Every structure is written in C-alpha cells, then in structure tokens.
Structure 1
Amino acid sequence: MHIESLRGKEVKRLLGIYYTPENEPEDATLEAVEMILTDSKSIVLYAGTDWSLRIDQGSWPSLPTWCHPPQCWAFSDIINSTAKLGSIRDVLPLRNRYSELTGAHISFDGHTSLSVTAGEQFTLEVKDDSSGGGT
C-alpha cells in the first residue's frame, strides 16, 4: 500500500500497538499505529526490519500477525474521536537519501495531525492543529 493512498480515508479511531514484555505495562514500547476507518477496515503503520515505514491493511480487532507472542502485545487508544480525526486531508511522505519511505506527516480534517517515523525505534507525535499545542 502506498502512503499517498491514505488521502481521503475516513478515520474514526487511532490506536497504538504496544509490545509489553512479560505483561509489564511500564516497559511497553510503541511499535505501530492502527487507524480504524469508518468502513470498519483498518490500516497499520509500523517499522519494517529494514527501518522503513510500512503500511498494511490491518486486521482490527485482531492484532497484526507479526505480534508474537500475542500475550505480549496490546492496543491502547491514542485518539477515539471522529471529530478530532475525520478524513485524511494531506499526507507528506518522508524519505531517506535512498528514496525509501521512513516516515510521514498526516493531517486530518478534524484539525489533528500526526507524524510517524520508522527506524530503530518507531515514533509518533500527535498535534492538535486547532490550538497549536501538542497532545
């Protein structure tokens, strides 16, 4: 799936997918973001083994197949509001010097934007564009 194909998708919920070794929540690390679409489908953004950003069809409410063992993984709401999300208005791909996709800046009609970056560590930054502050 190409990052640009996200433009226009209607998103109602944004979830983090966390690795929780030995079920210790304080040691949880964000490994992916799953966007739940209004048509009940989902899209997962995550870092590949080559540290590039991957975009795949999700399997909500199930975890992605690469989440193994499943008992060490958990979902957590990042945003659960169609009003703050809505349609994806703009997508700005971030590429390295080899033209590999390594991140993206995604803006929503609901005045929220998110930046994801793949690499040794998957990172996410969410901003409320209506007030200029971060969340």
Structure 2
Amino acid sequence: MSAIPLSMIGLSEASTQIPKLLEPAGHSCTKRAEDLKARIDDLRVQLREAEEELEREESRIPAIGDFVRCPLTGFFGQVTKVTPRPHSRPWVEILLYLGEDLPGHAQIDLFGNWELIDRPGQAAL
C-alpha cells in the first residue's frame, strides 16, 4: 500500500491532528498521578529533614540536668558532669534516678557508654 500525500487531499501538515502515543518523559497520564508524584517528592524532602534532625539529636552532647541511660547495665539518671574528650564520646557522670520523689544517693561514671533518654515519667505524657 502506498500513502496518499496530504497535499493531494487538500490538507496541510499544520492542520492535521495526529495523536501521539508517547508522552514526553516525566509527564503523567492523569492529574491524580501528577499529584501523587508531587506528594512523594514532598514526603522525601520531609524524610530527609527528619533524618538530619534525628542524626543531630542522637549525636548531641548531653547537658547537665539531661537524663541518660547506660545500655549495658540499664542504670539511668540525671547528668551531673560532662567531661569532653577530643577523639571520642564525652564521659558522663550521673546521679542515679530512683523515683520521682526519691533523690539518688550515688553518683556513677558511665564514661562513654550512655544514650540520651526522656525524663522518667515524662515519656507517657
């Protein structure tokens, strides 16, 4: 079969509406798909920001008055002294936490083995 030239039937190339099967790259077929892609992009940005904030929180040095816990022993208490060290985690001294109205009676060094925790009794709030 041979194709009939458009000029023979009176149509110019500019006036023809030839449907395209392939859309340009990155173009969605529906508005909903475009909205979902935009939502995914926004959530990725929020996730990246949350991960950066989490990294800062997990790596921050405790201040006097913060609560920390020793993952090995389970001892926890309020920080009374922080000794910075140049090439590793700071050493932390705590006053053991016995209860809301019971002050600790002993101070112990956790050295570099500690993690920040919320104030006891505050986690449920």
- TM-score normalised by length of structure 2: 0.29
**Structure with the higher strand share, 1 or 2:** 1
**Structure with the higher helix share, 1 or 2:** 2
